[in-house]
Amino acid sequence: MVLTETAGNVLVITLNRPAARNAATAQMALDMARILDEFEADDELFVAVLTGAGETFCSGMDLKAFLRGERPSIPGRGFLALTEAPPSKPIIAAVEGYALAGGFETMLACDLVVAAETAKFGIPEVKRGLVAAAGGLVTLPERTHRAVAVEMALTGDIYPAEFGQRNGFVNRITGAGEALDGALELAQKIAANGPLAVRVSKQIITESADWPSADKFSRQRVLSDPVFESSDAKEGAAAFAEKRDPQWTGR
């Protein structure tokens, strides 16, 4: 129910239940946990793109399975094994159609979002007597204004792609049916860069939000100094001087 393929140094992950609008199941969460672990461990893969089969990214939790006592989450890792513990490498959401509830929260767990102009977003859990506990209430306020997050969480309304871009949780908008191509183009730009530098840059941006102001640069140095001393840093400088493409090793 979750498919993978590679495009150079990019891993494409596809949620594959189109007949159910890619509603998430426990098996899908297990599949995602395995796939993300393999992605992290593979030195040849630099970036992942997450998308959905058919015309929907992910409509959230499979409510029929929920009534049977099933939850599409992994303890300590969250919804679809992603929302509480994203990979250290970059991951991009390519969104066509609906990204709702857990699907929207899965999208928020990605570092970048490329959405078709026809995409729709929302956390409608309150309409089902539930709360958006996979990131809608804690991650969304970090990605947009608090007032926007409160409105989305308390109304459960559905919003268009332009609203997402205007309010900071969508990076790029494409034509309908072109989100995956747009995400792959963005992924290839990232994958062309030094993978160690990219990974540490993401780590610093993520972790520094909780650092005291007085300690930000000292804490950054702990992470950034090894990058400056790495083989990739030397390779990047040599490739520039020799007017050639760098050959990264991630070390």
DSSP H/E element including 233: helix 231-241
Structure tokens at 50: 């997450």
Long-range contacts of 141-150 (CB under 8 A, 24+ apart): 142/209, 143/108, 143/168, 143/169, 144/168, 144/169
* pLDDT band at residue 58 using 50, 70 and 90 as cut-offs: very high
Report the C-alpha gap between 70 and 82 in whole angstroms.
17
With CA atoms as reference, report the closest residue to 48 among 87, 100, 1.
87
With CA atoms as reference, report the closest residue to 159 among 177, 140, 139, 184.
140
The radius of gyration computed from the CA coordinates of the chain, to the nearest angstrom, equals: 19
* pLDDT band at residue 21 using 50, 70 and 90 as cut-offs: very high
**Dihedral angle sign, alpha carbons of residues 34, 40, 206, 14:** negative
Catalytic residue among 105, 142, 151, 185: 105
What pLDDT is stored for residue 171 in this prediction?
A: 98
**Partners of 100 in the β-ladder:** 122
Structure tokens at 78: 């969250």
* pLDDT band at residue 80 using 50, 70 and 90 as cut-offs: very high
Residues listed for the chain: 251
Tell the residue number behind the tokens 């939790």, with chain if given. 61
Average pLDDT over residues 119-144: 97
What pLDDT is stored for residue 48 in this prediction?
A: 98
DSSP H/E element including 201: helix 195-207
Report the C-alpha gap between 100 and 56 in whole angstroms.
10
Q: How far is CA 158 from the centre of its chain?
A: 20
Tell the residue number behind the tokens 């891993």, with chain if given. 11
Each residue of 200-249: pLDDT tens digit?
999 999 999 999 999 999 999 999 999 999 999 999 999 999 999 999 99
Whether 55 is catalytic:
no
Whether 105 is catalytic:
yes
With CA atoms as reference, report the closest residue to 92 among 205, 8, 187.
187
Catalytic residue among 44, 70, 96, 125: 125
With CA atoms as reference, report the closest residue to 151 among 119, 172, 124.
124
Grouping H, G, I as helix, E, B as strand and the rest as coil, residue 24 is strand
Phi/psi for 73 (5° steps) reads -130, 160
